[in-house]
Amino acid sequence: MKEKGLLIVLSGPSGVGKGTVRKAIFSEPDKSFEYSISMTTRLPREGEVDGVDYFFKTREEFEALIEQGKLLEHAEFVGNYYGTPVDYVRETIEAGKDIFLEIEVEGAKQVREKFPDGLFIFLAPPSLSELENRIVNRGTDTEEVIQRRMKVAKEEIELMSLYDYVVENDSVERACEKVNCIIVAEHCRRERVEARYKKMLEAE
């Protein structure tokens, strides 16, 4: 039987650096996992490309996808829908390849319910004031949206204990190294458990 791939979820509050860390991880050569491109109703930011950064959809299109069961999870975040196309995730895992999702906390909760044996990593900020600095300095949000993101962030940080690992994003380089190590360690752990069961079954 072909071994299934690992579902990896990187989540955490807005502005902590999920996108930055994910892009840095995927810019490394020889990555053995695939990235799940999300759907969103948010308008593209400058430089963002449809089908690369996101699949950009209208609200009507997005709601039709929800109705048709095409999304593994979805959430409304600061006025826009975001969701993970389910077919690509399932096909990748079935093909024995790992898939990497970078999503917000409500979506991660939904994925955990459907894939309890996935690998869930929470990216945490060094402090709340540093989180706010990062959102402000990114320069993509109005003061009102920044305050909404910070309010949600505080609620999300309380949920970090539900994750398998918490990685502090104090430096992008260190955070990437830790995420990569966690993925390698998780593979080793699963292989050992599987090997143990295989032996047990063969001995019967």
Ligand X SMILES: Nc1nc2c(ncn2[C@@H]2O[C@H](COP(=O)(O)O)[C@@H](O)[C@H]2O)c(=O)[nH]1
Question: Which residues contact ligand ATP by CB under 6 A?
Answer: 14-20, 134, 137-138, 169, 171-172
- The answer to whether 54 and 37 have CB atoms below 8 angstroms apart is yes
Q: Coil, strand or helix: which one is 96?
A: coil
- CA 6 – CA 32 distance, rounded (Å): 11
Check residue 123 for interaction with ligand X (CB under 6 A): no
Residue 17 interaction partner, one of ligand X, ligand ATP, none, beta carbon < 5-8 Å per kind: ligand ATP
| Residue among 37 and 182 whose Cβ is closer to ligand X | 37
Q: Is 29 annotated as a binding residue?
A: no
Q: At what angle do helices 18-27 and 172-203 cross, to 10 degrees?
A: 70
Q: Is 13 annotated as a binding residue?
A: yes
Euclidean distance between CA atoms 36 and 51, whole angstroms: 11
Q: What is the DSSP string of 29-82?
A: TT--EEE-PPEE-SPPPTT--BTTTBEE--HHHHHHHHHTT-EEEEEEETTEEE
Alpha helix segments (H runs only) across the chain: 18-27, 59-67, 86-94, 105-114, 128-138, 143-157, 172-203
Binding to ligand X in span 74-113, by CB under 6 A: 75, 77, 82-84, 102-104, 107
Closest CA to 187 of 32, 34, 23, 21: 32
Query: Under the criterion CB under 6 A, does residue 62 sit at the interface with ligand X?
Result: no
- Choice between 25 and 65, CB closer to ligand ATP: 25
Cα distance between residue 145 and residue 131, in whole Å: 14
Taking CB within 5 to 8 Å according to partner kind, which of ligand X, ligand ATP, none is near residue 103? ligand X
Closest separation between CB of residue 164 and ligand X, Å?
18
What is the nearest approach in angstroms of ligand X to the Cβ of residue 182? 18
Nearer to ligand X, 5 or 15 (CB): 15
**Could you say which of ligand X, ligand ATP, none residue 147 binds, taking C-beta under 5 to 8 angstroms by partner kind?**
none
Write down the least CB distance from residue 67 to ligand X, Å.
17
Task: Decide: helix, strand or coil at residue 179.
Answer: helix
Count of other CB atoms within 10 angstroms of residue 148: 16
- Mask of contacts with ligand X, 1-40, x by CB under 6 A? -------------x---x-------------------x--
- Where do contacts with ligand X occur on this chain (CB under 6 A)? 14, 18, 38, 42, 73, 75, 77, 82-84, 102-104, 107
